[in-house]
Amino acid sequence: MSKPEPVVDDLYKLRHSMAHVLAQAVLKLWPDTQITIGPPIDYGCYYDFKFTTPISDENFKDIEKEMRKIINQGQTFEVDTLSIADAIAYWKEKNQKFKVELIEDLAKTGTTEVTHYRNVDAKGETTFTDLCRGGHVENLKDLPADGFKIMSLAGAYWRGDEKKDQLTRLYVAVFPSKEELKDYLTMLEEAKRRDHRKIGKEMDLFTFSDLVGPGLPLWTPRGTLLRNLLDGFVWELRSAKGYEKVSIPHITKKELYETSGHWAKFSDELFRITTREGHEFAMKPMNCPHHTQIFACQSRSYRSMPQRYAETTTCYRDEQTGELHGLSRVRAFAQDDAHVFCRQNQVKDEILKIWEIIDTFYATVGFKNLKVRLSLHDPDAFDKYLGTPEMWKQAEQNLRDLATDRKADFYEAPGEAAFYGPKVDFITRDSIGREWQVATVQLDINMPERFDLFCINEAGEKERIVMIHAAIMGSLERFLSIYIEHCAGLFPLWLAPTQVAVVPVAEPHEDYAKKIESELKEKGIRTLYLDPSDSLGKRVREGEKQKIPYILVIGDKEVTDSSLAVRNVHSKNQVTVSASEFMHAVETDVRNRALMESIG
């Protein structure tokens, strides 16, 4: 008896089926290979293998050729439902230990049957079998023979455990057509050009040191300026909504996170410290438990509610070395964190205030039309969450009503909630089409219970309060990895580490050029003077390399007319304007946080 396939979309089926084709091709070429798992991912699929002899990217063409051969045979999928015992026996006979381990683990959860999907050729012969829950195309000829490409291989540990077998992971890009694959590959080339690690080094924004350690970024003066300007803007928006700054230490006793529930859920990700007296502390991986103790330090009347705390501070998580990537995955990251402690009847207004901050911030920095994901709990795995089903149902309905009232472009995502409460996650698309989750608002009904947080209401009784977590950029490191690539380093004028470069053509033009430099600096404009010791072309190229928004070239005409030849590095246009007009435009653009420079 077969089980119905799960309901999945066509692209999932396409990519899931291609993972089977990949595994079949690998086994055809290297029959002694151990196979593991091969899930779809956002651009295709991957499959993890244990090869008896190493392979390299030189083998990709052979694998792709075999995959196309399999696709063109028009194989179909057939499903068999096996008992746990029969399935284990099948894979033991095939000498596939990883499949045996997967089935044995399923049996421990109470599963009594599993499904195998077989690829069957035109003669009715089985060419490949995999342990699988389903979700495939009807016929492999439905797969695009020219819509896939093996992208890379990487090392991976079995089940993500570095103590287990080292595997080889093959990544495949899979799209419905050759044209869509081509568009994706073009986007990847553009992404390489925009790689924040490359641009960050070229623009001298941040660095990493082997002596400091992987995943621990060091910010240069230019990068620190960029961070502070963005964080200052967030604080300006928060301050207008009544937030107050707080400050907390970077370590805490184990007991704080035991009470919050973080120790049980995330103890493996914590940097732990044992004192000389034997006390156990941790470097803080998040700030919310600390902020509860500021709220709880005194009795709160309903008249003093809500309490709004904000702080940008560094957190620490013990990420695996192999998962670190530039600024997007680090071990030390600063969060622009805020927590609102409020009454239940204040939740809607408080979340709307945060929503307004998010909309203003992202429109100003150049991300528009944010989508909203309501991240809800998984009702089939409630043991992953704190609280009761009733508490979750009410909290999730509150967020659903808010998104509806706001007329937001939202969708629901069961299973994406934090363990302590549902979230409103904001999704943006960057300039080359990639989607990123950025800001988040989390409604927490559990931490107030665990820390016994309350206010004294109108009747003089204790009233349980609600906690709202609000991150605008979230991790500044991760946000800047996204933003650097979105802008390709060409930041708006107000954010550019250097805003104007002054370039005199030759020595006779230096007096006027230095006067312009001085006036710009007096107005607070970040200015770089490039003297005539190098050629004009080299200095202009240097300004462009540093992605300085305006390059002012000053020669005979400009000195005579008190004008400026202004090169706009964003638009590549060059115009001549009076010095006074340029000064006014620059001041206005910076003050208004304009996205594009108004000169040129």
User: Given pLDDT bands bounded at 50, 70 and 90, which one contains residue 390?
Assistant: confident
Mean pLDDT throughout 15-22? 96
Res 2: pLDDT? 38
Tell me the β-bridge partners of 170.
47, 153
User: 238, 423, 509, 547: which one is catalytic?
Assistant: 423
What does R_g of the chain's alpha carbons equal in angstroms? 29
Mean pLDDT throughout 482-489? 96
For residue 363, give Cα distances in angstroms to 235, 370, 537.
16, 9, 36
Fold of the 198-243+299-487 domain = BirA Bifunctional Protein; domain 2 (3.30.930)
CATH code 3.30.930.10 region(s) in the chain: 198-243+299-487
Judge contact between 75 and 179, C-beta under 8 A. Answer: no
The residue among 91 and 261 whose pLDDT is bigger is 91
Res 389: pLDDT? 83
Which range is least confidently modeled, 35-49, 256-270, 331-345? 256-270
Residue 229: its H or E element: helix 221-239
Judge contact between 101 and 114, C-beta under 8 A. Answer: no
User: Given pLDDT bands bounded at 50, 70 and 90, which one contains residue 481?
Assistant: very high
Res 8: pLDDT? 60
Residue 463: its H or E element: strand 462-464
User: 20, 469, 478, 486: which one is catalytic?
Assistant: 469
CATH code 3.30.980.10 region(s) in the chain: 10-192
For residue 463, give both structure tokens.
């009233």
User: 339, 377, 539, 547: which one is catalytic?
Assistant: 339
Tell me the β-bridge partners of 564.
577
**How many Å apart are CA 362 and CA 482, to the nearest integer?**
13
User: 24, 75, 307, 335: which one is catalytic?
Assistant: 335
For the chain, percent of residues with pLDDT exceeding 70:
99
**How many Å apart are CA 76 and CA 21, to the nearest integer?**
11
Mean pLDDT throughout 301-312? 97
Average pLDDT, the chain: 93
Look at residue 194 and tell me whether its pLDDT is greater than 90.
yes
**How many Å apart are CA 200 and CA 433, to the nearest integer?**
21
For the chain, percent of residues with pLDDT exceeding 90:
82
**How many Å apart are CA 373 and CA 136, to the nearest integer?**
27
User: In the Cβ-directed half-sphere of 33, how many Cα atoms lie within 13 Å?
Assistant: 24
User: Given pLDDT bands bounded at 50, 70 and 90, which one contains residue 416?
Assistant: confident
Tell me the β-bridge partners of 375.
413, 423
Query: What is the CATH code of the structural domain delimited by 10-192?
Result: 3.30.980.10
Query: For 141, which DSSP code?
Result: G
Rounded to two decimals, the pTM is 0.85
Highest mean pLDDT among 5-19, 222-236, 277-291: 222-236
Mean pLDDT throughout 355-360? 96
User: Given pLDDT bands bounded at 50, 70 and 90, which one contains residue 1?
Assistant: very low
Read off the amino acid at residue 339.
H
Q: Is 415 left (phi over 0), alpha (psi -120 to 50) or beta?
A: left
HEC profile for 271-332?
A: CEEECCCCCEEEECCCCHHHHHHHHCCCCCEHHHCCEEEEEEEEEECCCCHHHCECCCECCE
Give the architecture (CATH level 2) of 500-591: 3-Layer(aba) Sandwich (3.40)
Long-range contacts, stretch 401-404, CB < 8 angstroms, 24+ apart:
401/348, 402/348, 402/351, 402/352, 402/355, 403/372, 403/374
- First CA to last CA distance, the chain: 71
In the residue annotation, 136 being an active-site residue is answered as no
**How many Å apart are CA 324 and CA 319, to the nearest integer?**
7
Look at residue 7 and tell me whether its pLDDT is greater than 70.
no
What's the pLDDT tens digit per position in 589-598? 999 999 988 9
Which range is least confidently modeled, 214-228, 386-400, 432-446? 386-400
CATH code 3.40.50.800 region(s) in the chain: 500-591
Judge contact between 545 and 562, C-beta under 8 A. Answer: no
Judge contact between 40 and 15, C-beta under 8 A. Answer: yes
User: 317, 331, 547, 567: which one is catalytic?
Assistant: 317
In the residue annotation, 339 being an active-site residue is answered as yes
Mean pLDDT throughout 173-201? 95
Which range is least confidently modeled, 3-7, 398-402, 429-433? 3-7
In the residue annotation, 335 being an active-site residue is answered as yes
In the residue annotation, 196 being an active-site residue is answered as no
Res 5: pLDDT? 46
Q: Is 75 helix (H, G, I), strand (E, B) or coil?
A: coil
Res 323: pLDDT? 85
Judge contact between 248 and 311, C-beta under 8 A. Answer: yes
Q: How many CB atoms are located within 10 Å of the residue 167 CB?
A: 21
**How many Å apart are CA 46 and CA 22, to the nearest integer?**
8
Res 504: pLDDT? 97
In the residue annotation, 538 being an active-site residue is answered as no
Judge contact between 64 and 150, C-beta under 8 A. Answer: yes
What's the pLDDT tens digit per position in 438-475? 999 998 888 999 999 999 999 999 999 999 999 999 99
User: 48, 194, 196, 288: which one is catalytic?
Assistant: 288
In the residue annotation, 469 being an active-site residue is answered as yes
For residue 320, give both structure tokens.
């695996």
User: 48, 337, 444, 589: which one is catalytic?
Assistant: 337
